Amino acid sequence: MSSPRILIVDDDSRLSLLMRTILERVGFEVREENRSFAALATAREFRPHLVLLDVDMPGKDGGMVAAELQADPITAETPFIFVTSLVKKNEAGPRGTVRYLSKPVQPAVLVAAVEQAISTSAKSPEDQKVNR
């Protein structure tokens, strides 16, 4: 079985490289996209299991990128986590999944959030229908 694929979309190349390094060390396949306007094309080509998405980016902000991902048939079911300095604490979403990670992200928190999001999405009814 191949490693889960993670796409990091963040205009700060130093931060995306740091997150990439952390995630690759624990076995994830990771790609960075530092241009928000290219995020959808990269996601369509890479087919990630999860997208880590900065909120405050030039060009298209994270909300715009998330809307594009959700509107595209290829990426519509791909979960994402916002990674931002605009929130002060990590916030949980449906089924306990993390919706926001606060920058700077601690390595253990990042890995735990990614693992949780991937395991939760793998158990979702939508994925079970696709895999049958």
Please tell me the distance from the alpha carbon of residue 24 to that of residue 21, in angstroms, as a whole number.
5
Cα dihedral across residues 104, 33, 8, 85: positive or negative: positive
Mean pLDDT per 10-residue interval, the chain, length 132 residues = 92 96 98 98 98 94 93 95 80 61 92 92 48 28
Number of structural domains found in the chain: 1
pLDDT at 92: 54
Measured CA to CA, the distance from residue 132 to residue 124 in angstroms comes to: 13
CB atoms within 10 A of CB 6: 24
Query: What pLDDT, on the 0 to 100 scale, is given for residue 130?
Result: 35
Which domain CATH number covers 28?
Answer: 3.40.50.2300
- Enclosing H/E stretch for 90: none
Considering the entire predicted model, what is its pTM? 0.86
- 73: containing domain: 5-131
